[in-house]
Structure 1
Amino acid sequence: MGTWPAQAALPPGFQRSTVVSGLSEPTVLEFAPDGRLFVGERGGRILTVENGSLLPLPLVQLAADTLNGERGLVGLALDPNFATNGYLYAYYTTNEPRNRVGRLTVVGNTADPSSEVVIWQNPDLAADFHHGGTIHFGPDGALYIATGDQMVSANAQDLSNQHGKILRVARDGTIPPDNPFVRVPGAQAPIWAYGLRNPFRFVFDPATGALWIGDVGGNVAESWEEVNRGVPGANYGWPNQEGRVCYVSDCSAYTFPVYAYQHNNPAYSTDQVQASITLGPVYRASAFPAAYQGALFFGDYANRWIRSLVFDAGGVVSADPLFDSPPDAGTIVDLRVGPDGALYTVTIGVAFSGEADVGAVHRLAFPGGGGNQPPVAVESADPRQGPAPLTVPFTSAGSTDPDSGPGALTFSWTFGDGGTSTEPNPVHTYAARGLYLARLTVSDGAAATTTDAIPITVGSPPVAIITQPPPGTLYRAGDVIPFAGTATDLEDGALGAGAFVWQVVLRHADHTHPFFGPTAGATQGSFTIPATGHGPENTFYEIELTAIDSDGLQGKASRAILPVVSPLALDTVPSGIPIFLDGQPQLTPRVYQSLSGFIHTVEAQPSFVLGAAPYLFDRWSDGGARVHTLVAPEGGGGATAFYTPTASVLSTASVRFRGTGGGTTIDRIKVPVDPPTPADVGAGDFTVEFWMRGTLADNVTPSGPYRASGDTEESNVDWIYGNIIV
């Protein structure tokens, strides 16, 4: 459990209120032109908040897969013509499982699942983690889609798949002819930009149209969280470059981030080394003070704060002030500006035994304009649980008005069962068993503050007990972990399988990842510890059981199981040459705390310039190939990559493309060839197939077959491709 620095929760004049809580892993928000708020839950349910109230029936329930990892519904977007056509787009994982963008037609406050039209879906099946998931319409009317690398880092650099990319399609799913890789042989036509790890959230600036990408960083202390400026055709470098660090000899082909922060920087992390960026909106509304105009908001899911990026006149980041302090921002997974100019946030509230957090939508507003400060609302109640009828004294003690006006404080209570009160310290009696949410709103006549809900449990919640696995259970990669439990209730007696909900979460540092479930309707089951995938360092699994009785009251139990750690000592000779472990860059020397039996892929770079000295890979100490499998042994192990010095990393041999310019035959492109120098191909012609992107001289206009579709005569950047007989 983390410790959080002492900070003011929000800047002066701002207030936090809860719009709706008690949601089941909400992931995304989308505002309709008429002010309705659509809230997507990971399980595929889309809810509607209208006039500040959650409607009792969902807009739609999609058949989304959430059984493994982070799959599920994670993105929503409204058609630019939503007011007339009712089109709502959803990014989710199907039960196949495959990541998809489907278009639904909203009529009133419902959307028939049968109205779905598939706009895009990934050619490959979905992995457990790194799905990306944001979808937005750009100022050009095209639909932009973020995809993660699916836990295979090499995917990000591979144009033959759609992982680790920003994609761009038309509203009907067809490919715009001016996409940058449309005419590149072997490349996937929807790709707009690539080289990303997990671009979970991206946004368009409503004033300038600029695209900003938040790329979630790696899993080691030296990893970076990034904010990138979206550029068509750009390569953002993952896994060869991250943040401000280049892990290979040359990163000149990559687009570096506009802003980045490192996991091990104590200014951004808790006592746990962790981070996970959730990019938010560029603020262009008028409800916040002028200093926030043009600020780019972003949160951190793992560290539970919100900051804003401030840009100078030249567009360079000049500051990143804290806006909402940890842990108050919660497990934040989306941020939007509402039609009222307030900032709305979503906390996913994945169940685990750490700090309490709920699935909820919050509103951060500035009612303090004109000098008035909103009141501070404090509520408490005792008792909060007991048999029916339950009489509960409530108190507003501690509620204050920082600037004493303009009016006297007034109080408005809602008790969750239909009862209300305007007394500062009311007493309320609950007649029926059930779970109720009580809230207090305090007003000074010009501004009001609403508290988070206090849960009042009337009746006896069930007692849930996990019987398997036993306490102290250890696991290795590949182990099958059985789970089982019982639940009893004072009113209902022993509860049957229909009352059970199971979920397994992956605890990573001080945050969680969904791993298995939720799954309901069974008193027992099992899951398998992966031998590949999410890195095992600084992780363990936690089994969560929720039992629900006939009154809707819940009892919970959790059981942690712990890894059999296998330390891997990784190094190079000379030390200091980065290697790649499961595709993620690692600085050497490095002791990686792995899991016994976990199957890693270790990769040594073929060459590297360390300082000013070039080196070539020679061998691994374990005799493996330059890229090979390393199984973490019981008790630990390791491997060292040996390099030899060389006069030059690149040979003098090259492939030349020749052209005619100014009446003289000259070399137009000379591409060095990695050693060893290729053997002579012998007599006769041979064909080189190539594609490249070039910048034409100012006095040259693209023409003929060399101009990509959609380019104009004024364009000076073009794709050239074809075959050359050498």
Structure 2
Amino acid sequence: MRSFLPLLALSVLAATSSQAEEDSPDLEVALCYISESIYGATRMAWAPDDSGRLFVVTMRGEVRVIVNGVESPTSFISEHLNHYERQGMLGIAFDPDFANNHYVYFFAALPNFKLQIFRYTDAGGIGVDRTVIVADIPAGDLDYDGGGLTFGPDGMLYFGVGDLHGYGPEDDLTQPTSKIHRVRPDGTIPTDNPFYDGDGPNVDSTWARGFRNLYGLAFQPGTGRLWANVSGRMANQIFSVSRGDHGGWGPYENNQPEGYLAPVHSYLPNGVFDEYPFAQQAGAVRQNGVATFTLGGTYYESYAYRKGTRLTIVDVEDPSFNGDFYVTGHPDSRTFTVDQPEPDAVSGGGGLLRRSQGEFIMGGMFYEGLRFPESYRGNYLFTDFRGMLHRIRFAADGSVATEDIIVNREPSAGFVDVNEGPDGALYLLSYQGGVLRVTPVPVAQALIVSPLDLSIPEGETKTVMVSLAMPPTVDVWVKVDVQGGEGDLTVAEGGSLRFTRENWSVPQFVTLSAARDADADVEHASFTFTPTQAFPAVTVQARTVEAETQSLQVSESSLAMDEGAQAAFTVALAYATTVPVTVTVARTSGDAEVSFPEGATLTFAPGEGETPKTVTVAATLPATSTDDTAVLTVSALGLESRAVTVTVRALPDADAGMSVDAGTGGDAGGVDAGAEADAGPGLDAGSGHDAGTVPSPMEDESGGCSAGATALPVVLGGWLMAGLMWRPRRIRR
């Protein structure tokens, strides 16, 4: 770690303290992880498998994994990108079926000005089998490439491509720029995309268009609508997008006419204040508890202040109009309304003030957790690079009711993403290598336990995270007891935890284990977390997930071979065994005689089984026979046997290349060593088939193919100097 990082860490803590008064008073914000290894962070995502793993994507192409407060020493992947060459990693998304296929998708700007979406397979915490999903979209400047990447409720993969700093007309359907795209998880294009024309000139993956730079994409639960965060020249905009919509870029930003999609929220970029005067005569009119304000100039229409926008009304001659309010409507293009339950009145003068809401809009999400009060459920939360977390609440009709800044670390915190952790807390990611944890201010002492319901595959473990809601007056011990489970569900580690005034907010981890058993029953158990002080215990429900039934996995169900030749197949177990398993192979019927140069008896020691072992078969025929068969039985104590049928072809009498000693029954020992072998009896030991062997139609079944969710320990490091930070370059506006 660079020598100046510890010193800079002090400035981070000072910033946290000095900015606390600007955060929402009902929130607690803590720096929970900081490391130079995640400097240049652009996105983060929690693995959807109850592992508590936080994946952090960095601009240089490293993807780091933090689990249970410890960062893995090995990168998940390393794409070796150089953002000074306009390269960088921009997006991450987990496959909806990640629990089964282990796919993780990434969006990157690669060398030679190409955008690409590719996926890796998670193999024990390391990404393997890089597979390109969408290849070689032309790229521009990093700041204009887009990067939003998410799966929709339809199982399709959606991604946003920016305007690439002027690469082609945005409205041109033959170009990918400034558009939201939709493809299948394998990269093929659905024919129901709105601009699909097959062999025609359109970019068939286009799903919606007219969005300058798409940094964040998130689907709204319950509506199926895609929310898009778009950074622009004249406005940062948030759109609620449907199939085929047009956001208006390039002619329009926050002033879209009829026929274009208007944003649900917008604000000026570059961290500027917004001041605008009212009409001097009767600029403020209040009637029946609703105040209507008329803009005095002609630069903006009232729609620039979208419904839910927070404004400060200042300097109206009648001071009862002044104060902080949310926009509630737009009677016409020059007026907007706010709620003011005051007597009717008319006044002139004054104007509006909208304080800085940020610089560049970045990642967003909908909160669906239980950690925060009910008023947060379904809220849209989004980050601004200047160092702000915004919160949008909705009215009963689904429109924006209010928008507020709830965390403020401006001007240079570099917030690029927000995510809900498995514990229901909010996590903010900084480009400078820091993760902040946001939780509600507790109203009473309580155990914070997550998750409360989990499934544990047999033979595996899962972790539960535990912390306190507030500092305790005395040390608190938490004991974990199990009820039920027939002994198959147990506490493997962390059965007794201690919380003090120093560590109360740092999660501790309890490891629950599910034993592998021989039956097919699902076991259920309750784990009770009981504190020593007088506040409620918490119960976690757990169940086992049956492991695959142990079985013999035989690669071939039939073999075909020439007399005197050899062939092979493999045997494995469905999963690694916990006890020694002996497998025997024997001929159980048929006229052909067989021997086993290798593998008549196979032994799998504990821990083995998934790696196949080879059985080599040699066969001869009776002297009077032409073609015949033998049936081999593969068996092991306690497991269902498998059969392999061997078909043996008699060699022609005129075969000049071979002479078979009939007296020996034609086994391998009777082959004339001096004869030249033809292609028929040659054996490829690696494949288990000789050149004359007919491949079996049966595929090889042998295989082949936390950040603790609550909070992470504070690791002293530092946010790199603001002057060294990457920023989306807006100087070219």
TM-score for the superposition, normalised by structure 1: 0.49
Q: Which structure is richer in relative contact order (CA contacts within 8 A, separation 6 or more)? A: 2
TM-score for the superposition, normalised by structure 2: 0.49
